[in-house]
Chain A
């Protein structure tokens, strides 16, 4: 499958709050822990060999499960398959917690759910749809839920 590699590499070079050297172990049998520069940019987790400009790889952080493995390490499982479970070793319990939290919150789907929650609540509390002012009320991606509509109010409809 083709993808815009140069642009994605360029994205990986953007400054990020969550960038650190972690121990990283791949999912395959026989994979060992290696020191990698791991960087979270939007909903991608990039990993680099230390001091290299181009990442080795990019993991899309959607539909994945983040779990604590022990006090200082966590794992990310993709496709619900054990063969796609990546392990990350941090330097401290606090760092481990920060990474887990950041990765979960970086997911587009997680953010979308939050958006829908706030939109619904603001509408309930104020009677107004907060997306109307931005002209994006009818965008499919911001709809409340799978076609289900809120009870229409007199002033606006979601």
Chain B
């Protein structure tokens, strides 16, 4: 299959911000050795190259359909990307310290398109609710002046024009520049929800249980709020555990120091 690489490299170098970058050790598949690589995470794409200044990109990993895990069994500060499905890879990495490991795990957990789409749907629902509550409180605001509940008007900076100002061009849309009015998005979502998004979500699988076999991911009666909370809980468990382990590790080291001084 041909992946049009220039589109990816162009996207990497364009003005939208990078989500995370830094050194990680990547485990080679054949022997068990690790090679230090510079990783750049943008959207659901994880690029890597030998050094940050290199013009040549060595590779990219598309982050859909994989489980992100701390994997201490692989070694200290290790993490992995396990793609779910027969014959699919698991990428293994190691960070230099706990903080780097935790930070990468967290960033990779929220990197997928599926995750973002669930999150956006959830926030869209919260936004509609908040607007309804506001209008039932008896005030109608079209500008960005704050609601009655807040005293100073909050100045809001948006990178793109707000919905009132968004102009729907009849001939062309620029995917990178036009922010659609939320009411339009709601209408479309209501018309197609939940089918607008892929019905099988590879990431709504419990991290701590056996992965369902490929093709069996359930998404019957898809409810964005319910699903996102579940998703958040699954990932939250991993992050919480990482934090707890790190904290208990730190405490243990401190106690050790006290004993040494005593």
Q: Do A and B bind each other?
A: yes
- Chain A residues in the interface with B (C-beta under 8 A): 1-12, 14-17, 41-44, 54-68, 78-79, 84, 100-105, 107-127, 130, 134-136, 139-142, 144-146, 148, 150-151, 153
**B114 within 8 Å of A (CB atoms):** yes
From the candidates B131, B163, B176, B178, name the one contacting A125 in the complex (CB within 8 A).
Answer: B131
| Interface window among B59-67, B70-78, B244-252, B253-261 | B59-67
A-B contact pairs, 24 of them (CB 8 A): A1-B5, A3-B60, A4-B89, A6-B88, A7-B62, A8-B3, A10-B83, A11-B64, A62-B7, A62-B175, A63-B175, A64-B175, A65-B172, A67-B173, A68-B172, A79-B10, A101-B188, A105-B185, A109-B176, A110-B179, A117-B163, A118-B126, A125-B147, A146-B17
- Interface pair A43/B43, CB less than 8 Å apart: yes
Complex CA–CA separation, A126 to B113 (angstroms): 27
Asked if residues B134 and A125 are in contact (CB atoms below 8 Å), the reply is yes
B16 touches A79 (CB 8 A): no
- The 6 residue pairs across chains A and B that have the minimum distance between CB atoms: A2-B59, A42-B113, A118-B123, A108-B43, A57-B2, A125-B130
- 8 more CB-based (< 8 A) A-B contacts, given A6-B87, A103-B175, A104-B178: A3-B62, A7-B65, A7-B66, A54-B1, A65-B175, A107-B176, A108-B43, A110-B179
Expressed in whole angstroms, the minimum distance between the Cβ of A93 and any Cβ of chain B is 13
Produce 1/0 per residue, B131-144, CB < 8 A to A.
10110000000001
- Asked if B175 contacts A68 (CB within 8 A), the reply is no
B224 at the interface (CB under 8 A from A): no
User: How far is B156's CA from A151's CA once the two chains are assembled, in angstroms?
Assistant: 8
- Which residue on chain A has the smallest CB distance to residue B150? A127
Q: Does B200 contact A (CB under 8 A)?
A: yes
CB <8 Å contact, A109 and B16: yes
Smallest CB separation, B7 vs chain A (Å): 5
- Residues on B with beta carbons closer than 8 Å to the beta carbon of A79: 6-7, 10
Q: At the interface, yes or no: B223 with Cβ under 8 Å from chain A?
A: no
A121 cross-chain contacts in B, Cβ below 8 A = 127, 130, 156
Residues of B within 8 A of A109 (CB): 16, 43, 175-176
Closest A residue to B60 by beta carbon equals A3
Provide the bound-state CA to CA distance between A1 and B107, in Å. Answer: 23
B8 within 8 Å of A (CB atoms)? yes
Q: What separation, in Å, do the CA atoms of A35 and B75 have in the docked complex? A: 50
Interface residues of B in 1-48 (CB under 8 A from A): 1-11, 14, 16-17, 19-20, 43-45
Known contacts A63-B11, A141-B19; A11 and B172 CB within 8 A of each other = no
Q: Mark B183-195, 1 if CB is under 8 A from A, else 0.
A: 0010010001001
Distance A59 CA – B8 CA, assembled complex (angstroms): 9
